[in-house]
Amino acid sequence: MTRVFNFSAGPAALPESVLQTAAAEMLDWHGSGMSVMEMSHRGKEFISIADEAQALLRELLAVPAHYKVLFMQGGALAENAIVPMNMLRGKTAADYIDTGEWSKKSIKEAQKYCTVNVAASAKAGGYTSIPPRAEWALNPDAAYVHICSNETIGGVEYHFTPDVGSVPLVADMSSDILSRPIDVSRYGLIYGGAQKNIGPAGLTIVIVRDDLIGQALPATPSAFDYKTVADNDSMFNTPPTYAIYIAGLVFQWIKAQGGLAAMATHNAAKAALLYDFLDTTSFYSCPVARDCRSLMNVPFRLKDEKLDEAFLKGAKERGMVQLKGHRSVGGMRASIYNAMPLEGVKTLVAFMKEFEAQHG
Ligand SMILES: *Cc1c(COP(=O)(O)O)cnc(C)c1O
């Protein structure tokens, strides 16, 4: 068996030890005689798995007691609708910050439910930076302010938590949740699909402040009303049980590595290796402003795009896959989430140098 270095943006690489544990427990979880996939979600075995996953996530992120942690389905794109349905709370408008492909999708969906004020946009600069907080034109009557903390496609990440006063801050953290410590109390709501930095697709994480739930629009589907989900411990309907189990194993793995502080150090070291190299060469280039560069998704271009195919082929021959950039931006993208070892980035940089020496 050979495992590749998988630079996929999502679904993405998982820690190998997590996959090994899952394999070892596949047929018989802890003497239950069953696979986790075969368990009743209301049985004591699965309830213990879900409770432990939630407790670990709370511990890793230091989630305050007055926040609910919900395990939902539908991904971040469903949340683009579920957020306004739940968070408008009698108001009719919300502020959105436009920083790229994922914010654009959030904005478009929210427009079905409310008046969207795009309070700041990075569009004019080709989505290569985060508009400075001082330039945001916020509406004091907005129900919430929405940001995408890491634009997975453009490779643009917030390296600050914006102060938006008493209006709740809502963040799509699909692709940088658990990559570093955050202060959850600065947010009204955090959401994200699991398949980037947490576990398998199918699980959506929502962390929401207690006082913001219970006022969903009347037409909100019950399964998407945060109050219903919270009152039923995320088991109003059958939750994605196996995805929750794997997420729990990933949380254990993060804790064993030293928690989010250790993840932040590990991720900063990997990103620095790649960006420092990109800054020394004109053969490759990264379009993103230095202070907004993503530690999770590193987009870069070759000087001559006619070499792209040869680059991808050479990378594949060396065991590195999924480096092709998103179709909307072209070039390359290396996604280096928590589970990507430093060795993977070292191998990539070594290959980039070798390729430049041959073709530069
Ligand atoms: C991947 C991603 C999404 C889409 O998530 P789905 O689970 O496919 O709905 C949304 N936002 C961000 C920031 C993402 O990285």
Question: How many angstroms separate the alpha carbon of residue 59 from the centre of ligand 1?
Answer: 24
Pocket of ligand 1 contains residue 294 by CB under 6 Å:
no
Is the distance from the beta carbon of residue 202 to the nearest atom of ligand 1 less than 6 Å?
no
Q: Which tens digit of pLDDT belongs to each residue from 192-205?
A: 999 999 999 999 99
CB contact at 8 A, 251 and 119:
no
Tell me the pairing of strands 67-72 and 169-172: unpaired
What angle in degrees, to the nearest 10, is found between the helix axes of 44-61 and 241-257? 40
Cα–ligand 1 centroid distance for 206 (angstroms)? 13
Mapped onto helix, strand or coil, the DSSP state of residue 150 is strand
Which residue owns the Cα nearest ligand 1 atom 8? 75
Domains by residue range for the chain, with CATH:
24-256 (3.40.640.10), 259-359 (3.90.1150.10)
Unique residue bearing structure tokens 């330039």: 135
- Would you tell me how many other CB atoms lie within 10 Å of the CB of residue 90? 7
Tokens representing 288 are 């993103």
Question: In this predicted structure, what is the pLDDT of residue 329?
Answer: 84
pLDDT tens readout for residues 141-192: 999 999 999 999 999 999 999 999 999 999 999 999 999 999 999 999 999 9
Q: Average pLDDT for residues 60-78, to the nearest whole number?
A: 98
Q: Which atom of ligand 1 is nearest to the CA of 173?
A: 13
Compute, in angstroms, the gap from residue 27 CA to the centroid of ligand 1.
31
- For 21-61, the pLDDT digits (tens) are 999 999 999 999 999 999 999 999 999 999 999 999 999 99
Residue 19 Cβ inside 6 Å of ligand 1? The answer reads no
Give the catalytic positions in this structure: 102, 172, 196
